[in-house]
Structure formats: structure tokens, C-alpha cells
Structure 1
Amino acid sequence: METSWFVVVNPRAGGGKSIVDWPKISRILNKYDIRYTHAFTEFKYHAVELTVNAVSKGYRNIIAVGGDGTLNEVINGIFIQKEVSPSEITIGVIGVGTGNDWFRMYDLPHNYEDSIKAIKNNRVFKQDVGLVEFYESGVRHKRYFVNAAGVGFDAEVALRTNRLKDLGKRGALLYILSLIKALIRYRTTRINVKLGRNHIQDKVFSITIGICRYNGAGMMQVPFALSDDGLFDVTIIKRISKLNVLANIHRLYNGTILKHSRVVGLRGSDIEIMSVPNVNLEVDGESVGETPLKFSILRQAISVIVSDSFVQPEVPQEKVSKHITTIEQ
């Protein structure tokens, strides 16, 4: 089964678009002579279980059909299975979800034909994988991620967005609607961030810990992130007024957020975050738990299919240094 693909299909992705479009996706897979077996997820975290079982049966190539959340579950299945090293497994993605932020990093097409062409062409890129330890109901858990994690306001928005998705709501404005509703109620929290020997203790609005550059349905809160350098890019937005947030939303989308006077940019491989009271965490857009948190990174730990046109963005070091402090670990 070394050359066959196991396809994990999330039928709820894109508000049910995935299940409606599956016959079309299947036909295109057959058109390009991609040998595969598929399974539909039936409940939360089912993609984790399906992936573990697929690897145990000998599959070394996995396709996720869905969005960022589906991809995250597949990644976690790959890293908790014990059959082989995760580095021996290749992941392809056919995007059907709402945010699809991970796709943006790799210039992946959103139409099925071109997505499957990319899988057929099999251009592989080794990217970093994040690991976060967190708490839920007082119990410590861990979760792997490949795009970004958010703490504080980011996580509050994700929580509201996911609740709306659970109610069947979909659309491009879903994240913005959740952002505005969260902004009305959210309060900043005193948070302690530790990177190596450096500490930041302050009233904090939100923190983004990024491997890739995009989150929140197209926002660029970590605009200089490189997905294979073995480092997290960290953007900390300190206490800020709600009017100031609204006035600077455009900076979140155009990648200039680090120019704001209340924003700090850092880069490092090991991060600890504590707060009183506890604040929420999201990883790859999924709400998972709360502080205290401990982040670590696995460099170039997974092989992903990227588009033929993808080139790892290069940013002049002087520009990065102007906005980001790299922390020695």
C-alpha cells in the first residue's frame, strides 16, 4: 500500500459541501489514476482514529478532504500512531472547509481538479509541526498542529466561530461576525509569556503562535513566519481599546500588524504561557482547552504536498529584525 492513498473525508466540511461534492472529487481522483480507499468521518476526532487505523494497515499516503480542522485531526492521527515515524508519511489536502488558512501558505488551489493534479505531481515539502500541552477541566492534554495557535481573544473568536458552525452556519463573514461579537464581551488578561530566559508579563489582548502565516480566514498575524525553520513566530497584542482593534483590523489582513505600537513580535522554539484567570486556546482554528500552556516545535517533521508554484517566501533579514526579536533558547 506504499503507493496507495487513504482518503479521509469530512462530510460536514464547508457546511456539507464535502459530501455533496464527493462524487465529483472521486471521479477526478480516478481520472488521474490515483489509487485510493476512502472513509467518511462520523464524529469529532474520528479522523484521528481513521488515520491511525490506515497507517496500521500499511498506508503511508493520506489525503484530507475538508478544512483546517480535518487536516489537524489527520496530523494528530499521524503523530500518535506507533507503526512508523511520521516523517515516512505524506499528506495531501483537498480543501472544502471554511477558513482553509493552511492552504494559503502553500499557494494550493481551491478547485478540485488542480488540487488533485498537485497530489498527482507529488511535490513534497517538509514542514514543522507544533506540539502544545494544555489543560481541560484540570486534566493535562497535548495536541499537534501545523498552522497556528491562538491564545486569549483569538481563541475566544474561534470558540464562537465553531459554535456557529455546529449550528450549521457557514460563509465568508462568519469569522468577522464572531470577532465583533467576541470583542463586545472580551476583557484583557494578565499573561506571563516565557521564551527561553525572556519573560513578558503584561495585560494581553491576544497571542498568536504561528508555523504558517495565515489564520482567522485570511488574517496575517505572523506575516514573516517560515514553515520549515524550526521556530515559532509569536505575535503578542497587548492591552488595546476596542476602538483601536476595529481601527486596525486591516493590519491583520495586510500583514502590517507588527508595526502597531501595542504589538510585540518574537521568534523562538519553546514557549510557556500562564495566566490568572485561565484563558482559552485554539489550534488550527479548533477550540481545545486553556492555560497553562507549553509549546514546542518539531522541525521539518511532516511531508506535505504543495503546489508546483510554491516558493518559500524570503524576507530581507533587516526587515524581519526590525519587527521580530529572535530568542535564544
Structure 2
Amino acid sequence: MRAVLVVNPKATTTTERGRDVLVRALGSEVDLAVEYTRRRGHAAEIATRAAADRVDVVVTLGGDGTVNEVVNGLLAGGRTADEAPALAVVPGGSTNVFARALGLPRDWAEGTGVILEALRDKRYRRIGLGTADGRFFTFCAGLGLDAAVIRRVERARVKGSTATPALYLKSLFAQFLVGSDRSHPMVTLERAGESQKTNLAMAIVQNTAPWTYIGGRAVNPNPKASFDSGLDVMGLHALTTPATVRTAGQLLFGGEGPHGKQVVTLHDLGEFTLKSERPQPFQLDGDYVGERESVKFVAIPGALKVLT
């Protein structure tokens, strides 16, 4: 069996010694090539080459951004799950939502053990993915406030800050208080044959649950979201302080997800479009990817094989 290990050398929870241990462990099971990413987009290029070379498995050591790039590389050119290499994920980022949603351990060493067992047993699972204007995402997308928060976090990291829960909360409060036009909701959700959902201040799209984690606590706008169904959406009509505080409390402490007059939730959608009156911050799998006025979403069932 041939495999490629894609390593993000800036992964926050691993060391050079740990990476060496991983390489030796994987190399004992498969014919392994190791590639280190050097820039944004490089992981996608590596994965595209690996798929063209017909390797059996591509393993990522990095965060959710590295996983997203590799997935898009594996499935580039319209490859199906049967045509593309399988994906294995060793958690190495600060949050690792995708790996944890698959049920993998948070610790990279324990995660490596699971992957080695899956390789020996040839244990695969097919999962559905979402696309946003043709780009795949594994667990979430967002238009509006959450993407603006991620943009703030990424700018802080460029200046040397570490991506901690405290940084995300600080960025959320700053964006909410001074960075958002909360009085004029501008987002509309459109889907064929259904009435529009208008005057949304923000929208969160999930391909699985949870949406993210704060430390060890799962945050679940759409608790029913699953790799085995379509896409789920939560939108907010208003970002007033009382409504937002109430929704935040439901997100953190409510098992059934947010509810109330300001909340719109939709489950198991196959295709829809989010439109805005002016460009809004947009994120995919926790990475800020610019501003958008319109994004078309499509659920792709059984799009990818993963080792679990």
C-alpha cells in the first residue's frame, strides 16, 4: 500500500520529534512518502499529485485548513470517492473539528494509533461533503459574523498570537461590539420550490456536528447535522445584544440547539444559495476565504473515503 503524509510544519500541537515518530510508525505499515507544506494552497497541490499517481491513502498532519486543502486536491477534476485516494487524519491543529467529528482522539499520538489500526484492517467510511461555489468543505461554512471573527483571529495570529479559546472569545466580542453592522440584516437564503428566508444577519452551514469546540465543549447550532445527510443551516434574524446573548447561551448550554423568533434552522438540504446586499466575510472549515455577495451550496453524498 502506498501513502503520502502531508505535514503542516506549523501545526500547533506537534513537535519535530513527534513528527519523526509518526513517520516511522506509518512507514512500518505502508510505502510512505512525506511532503511538507510551504504555503497556503500547497497541501492541495500535493494531494492532487498523489491522486494522479494513484496512491492508496493520503494522511494529513495539521489542522482543519490542511484537511480542507487536501480534500479539495484529492477530489479535483471531478474524482469520485472510488477514484480518489482515501483520507486519514492525524490531528495536529488547535481545534481539529473534522477529526473529532469523525470520533478520532484529540491527541495526535492516539490518533496515529487509530489510523494504524484502520490501515491494518482496511477500515474505511464514506462521508458526505458540502461544496460552496464548487469548493469542498468537510464540516462547516459561514457567512457574516463567524467568518468576521475568524478573520480577526487570523490577523492576530499573523502578529504572533496563539489560536486559543480566549483569542476567539476576545475576537468575537470585539467584532460584535464594534465591527458589525448589526442593525441592517442583509442575507437571504434561496432554494428551489421553497419560500425565501430573508433579513438574516448571519448564516452558519454545517456538514456535520459539532460546528466547533471551545476547549472540550462542543458548540452545536445544528445538532442534527451529519456526514450521512445533507447540509444544515442556522440563521439569525437579529444581532441585538439580548437576542445574541440568549442564542449564545443556547449554543453553549442547550442540547437541542438555538431556538426562538430570531433563529432560523433548516435540516438536510441538498442545494441552496445565500445572497447578501453587500459583500460579507466568508469562511470554510474555519479558514477565512474573503468576502462574498452570493454563495451556492450543494451537498455531495458519499463524496470521500476516510480511515476511522
The interval holding the TM-score normalised by the smaller chain is 0.7 to 0.9
Map 1:185-196 to 2 at 5 A. Answer: 185-188=179-182, 189-196=185-192
Identify the residue that residue 321 of structure 1 maps to in structure 2: none
| Cα pair distance change 1:216/1:233, threshold 3 Å | same
* RMSD (Å), alpha carbons: 2.0
In structure 1, the partner of 2:280 is: 279
Q: For the residues of structure 1 that align with 2:51 and 2:210, how far apart are their CA atoms?
A: 29
Q: Is the 8 A contact 1:128 1:297 kept in 2?
A: yes
The residue type equivalent to 1:49 in the other structure is E
**Superposed displacement of residue 121, structure 1:** 2.4
Task: Give distance in 1, aligned partners of 2:176 and 2:154.
Answer: 16
Contact 2:231 2:299 in 1 (8 A): yes
Q: How does 1:110-259 map to 2 (within 5 A)?
A: 110-122=106-118, 123-133=123-133, 142-170=134-162, 171-184=164-177, 185-188=179-182, 189-217=185-213, 218-229=218-229, 231-254=230-253, 255-259=255-259
SS in 2 for 1:177: helix
Number of residue pairs matched?
292
Pick closer, same or farther for the CA change 1:18–1:92 going to 2, 3 Å: farther
Q: Which runs of 5+ in 2 are unaligned?
A: none
Contact in 2 for aligned 1:12/1:18 (Cα 8 Å): no
Matched, 1:13 2:14: no
Distance 2:256 2:159 in 1: 34
Instruction: Note the residue ranges of structure 1 that are not aligned, 5 or more in a row.
Output: 134-141, 307-329
Given that residues 13 and 97 in structure 1 are in contact (C-alpha distance below 8 angstroms), is that contact kept between their aligned partners in structure 2?
A: yes
Identity rate, percent: 23
CA–CA separation in structure 2 for the residues paired with 1:215 and 1:37: 32
1:296 aligns with 2:278: no
Deviation at 1:85, TM superposition (A): 3.2
CA distance in 1, matches of 2:180, 2:242: 13
1:41 & 1:81 partners in 2: Cα distance? 21
Q: After the TM superposition, which of the residue ranges 63-72 and 98-107 deviates more from structure 2? A: 98-107
Whether contact under 8 Å (1:204, 1:239) holds in the other structure is yes
TM-score (norm 1): 0.82
- Residue 317 of structure 1 is matched in structure 2 by none
Amino acid at match of 2:293: T
8 Å Cα contact 2:251-2:258 kept in structure 1:
no
> Does the 8 Å contact 1:155/1:287 carry over to 2?
yes
- TM-score normalised to the size of structure 2? 0.87
Give the superposition deviation at 1:18. Answer: 5.3
Deviation at 1:46, TM superposition (A): 0.3
- Is 1:24 aligned to 2:21, yes or no? yes
Question: How big is the shift at 1:81?
Answer: 4.5
| Corresponding letter in the other structure for 2:193 | R
72-81 or 187-196, which deviates more: 187-196
**Letter aligned with residue 250 of structure 1:** G
Contact 1:18 1:65 in 2 (8 A): no
Q: Which of 60, 65, 68 in structure 2 is aligned with 1:64?
A: 60
**Counterparts of 2:300 and 2:87, CA distance in 1:** 16
Q: Distance in 1 between matches of 2:31 and 2:294?
A: 44
Does 2:77 align with 1:85?
Answer: no
SS at match of 1:173: helix
Secondary structure at the aligned position of 1:11 is classed as: coil
The alpha-carbon deviation at position 19 of structure 1 amounts to 4.5
CA, structure 1 residues 35+256, in 2 after alignment: closer, same or farther (shift >3 Å)? same
Cα pair distance change 1:118/1:95, threshold 3 Å:
same
The 3-state SS of whatever aligns with 2:222 is: coil
Rounded to whole Å, the distance in 1 between the matches of 2:110 and 2:299 is: 31
Distance 1:223 1:62 in 2: 29
CA distance in 2, matches of 1:173, 1:283: 21
